[in-house]
Amino acid sequence: MTEAPEAKLDINLRVADLEASVRWYEEMFGAPPIYRGEDRSVDGRATAMACFRIGGVKLWLLPGSTGSGEQRVGIALMVRTALGPLRASLAARGAQFDDHPMPGFPIDADGVRQGRDAEFFYLLDPDGHRIEYCRVFRKGEA
């Protein structure tokens, strides 16, 4: 069996109102976000996001309305190694993936979605929960 890559656990939450949620988390946990920025697609579309560190885990807030069909809670495993070989290894062990179309985030020949700042793919567990593997590009790497 192939050993899993070293990864850090992040949690992604889809929220109806990003700014209201940021204010709520600041008030409830007594600290501002550790990061405010944008997730950028290959074609340059930007989606605002905020990140808090709570209990040693990064909690990412991303816009997504109720009933939008998007998963509202997600597990993200942040890794530093290229994702193509990891996805191939998982596929060889019978893994299922969520490859639904996402405008602006094309899937490359290795089955990995490409963004301007990161690459990622979604692994599906037996109940259909998505587990995201994500690698943020270092400056000049994309």
What pLDDT score was predicted for residue 73? 67
Note whether 63 and 15 are within 8 A (CB).
yes
pLDDT in tens, 35-48: 999 988 988 899 99
pLDDT in tens, 87-96: 999 999 999 9
What pLDDT score was predicted for residue 110? 97
Residue 112 — pLDDT band, cuts 50, 70, 90? very high
Give the C-alpha distances (Å, rounded to integers) separating 106 from 43, 99, 103, 113, 118. Answer: 10, 10, 7, 5, 12
Residue 124 — pLDDT band, cuts 50, 70, 90? confident
What pLDDT score was predicted for residue 119? 96
Is residue 1's pLDDT more than 80? no
Number of Cβ within a 10 Å radius of residue 102? 14
Is residue 81's pLDDT more than 60? yes
Distance CA 94, CA 49 (A): 33
What pLDDT score was predicted for residue 114? 96
Q: What are the structural domains of the chain?
A: 8-136 (3.10.180.10)
Residue 29 — pLDDT band, cuts 50, 70, 90? confident
